[in-house]
Each structure stands twice: as structure tokens, then as C-alpha cells.
Amino acid sequence: MRDDADRPGHDEQQRRRRHRHDADVEQAHEPGDERDGRCAPPLRVRSHSSSAFSPVLSDRGCGTRPSLCRTVPRRDRDRRVWQGGGPHGTGRPVLPRPREHDREGEPVTLQKPEVEPIDGEAPTDLRVTDITVGDGAEAKAGSFVSVHYVGVAHSTGEQFDASWDRRSTLDFPLGQGRVIAGWDQGVQGMKVGGRRRLEIPPHMGYGDAGAGGVIKGGETLIFVVDLVGVR
């Protein structure tokens, strides 16, 4: 009788058994296992799906599970000036916060305002109207301020930008030329909790050049600004 090792195909069967054993050992080790106080190297999890994604490991150290993350490019996080100095804020995400009290002393939550059209002719100089006078810290030249705002083009009545839609305030140093002149001058004197309407002529806005195909040249701008913080 011939030995099993001499039978045809025996070597191939042995190779297949070893392959299955190695695969079982690989799948038994999950990413994030700890051995001897060290992090085991993460292993790619096998998937039968053609749409499998590659998880990003957390940076919290040993034993953490893979987690998915979305990174905002630094250039987008840090940008506070848009097309020649106009406000288009990105600051840190914040939720609307109480800014004033009603007659009964109950807090009123800040909400996105409606922007009314200009009544009559467009102004030739900056026009400032306080809708609500705040009672907090005052914004002065050199202050670092946080605001919410809505911007509307006078000629069309259409909104072209709003921090509310991003749920993110615009944070900037006041009076330092980081925003259009109508803002640098118009926000000064506001107090935290206040809401102010700014009607800005072209020479204090984007001038004859306009901005990025969104605001045409020679446009008068209307903003309603809420002062959220001063530091």
C-alpha cells in the first residue's frame, strides 16, 4: 500500500489546509487589540462588499476603535476675508444664544432676521439703524468681535450671504481693515445682544469691481448684524 504522502494531489491539499488556517488566525485578531501593553497593528478587515471604505484610526491611543472623520481644510477654517475684505465668516460653529429679555424678563433666543428693502433712495453714505440696543460689552476699534449677519443686495433684494445658514459666527478684529469699510465703521458702538441694520454704499463695500460674480459692481449692500461677543 502506498503512503498518503505519495498520493497525487496530497501536497496541494496540505497547502490549502495551511492557507485556511492562516486566514482564520488573521481574522481572529481585531484592530486595537493590546498585547504586552502595546497596540497591535490595525489589520484591514476583509469585506465582501465592493463599496468597502477604509476607516481612519482615532489618535486617542491604544485600544480605540477605528472611527470615520471629515477634515475641513485649514484654508477654509482660517479664511475670514472674502474677495477683497468682505465678511464671509467661518469661525467656530456655535448655536444661537440668548441675547436679550422680553418685558416679562424671559430670555429671547436669537433668530435669523428678515431684511427689509431700503425705503426710498439708496444712501450715498453709511446709514446705521439700531433695531435692538444691547446691554453687554461694547464693540470698539481693536476689539475682537463675533457676529451673526444676513447680507442682501439692494438692486435685487436677494440674499447673497448669511452666517445663520452655516450656523457659524464671523469673528474678526474690528477697525483693522479685515472687513469692508462699512462693517469696520458700522459695527463700532454696538453692544453684545444688539441687532443693527447697515446700509452700505458701494464705496464702503465692494466698489465698482463687485465681488466674485455674486455682488455686481456699484451695488449698495444691506446687512442686519447681531453682536454675539466681544473680547
Structural domain including 25 reads 4-67
The chain-wide mean pLDDT, for the chain, equals 70
Give the model confidence (pLDDT) of 203-219 as tens digits: 999 999 999 889 999 99
C-alpha cell at 60: 486617542
Residue 94 and residue 62 in one domain: no
Q: Is residue 77 part of a domain?
A: no
pLDDT of residue 69: 28
Q: List pLDDT tens digits, range 92-128.
A: 333 334 344 434 444 445 799 999 999 889 999 999 9
* 229: helix, strand or coil: strand
Question: Do residues 198 and 95 share a domain?
Answer: yes
Residue 74 falls within a domain, yes or no? no
- Indicate whether 75 belongs to any domain: no
Last residue of a domain, one of 67, 95, 113: 67
Which CATH number fits the domain that encloses residue 137?
3.10.50.40
**Distance (Å) of CA 2 to CA 6, 9, 60, 146:** 6, 14, 60, 88
d(CA 163, CA 181): 19
| Average pLDDT score over residue span 83-99 | 37
Contact 40, 33 (CB under 8 A): yes
Q: Are residues 186 and 224 in the same domain?
A: yes
- Confidence at residue 134, expressed as pLDDT on a 0 to 100 scale: 96
Q: Is residue 78 part of a domain?
A: no
Closest CA to 190 of 138, 119, 142, 151: 138
Same domain for 177 and 114? yes
Report yes or no on 72 lying in a domain.
Answer: no
The number of folded domains in the chain is 2
Examine the domain organization and report whether 63 and 87 are in the same domain: no
pLDDT score, position 6: 55
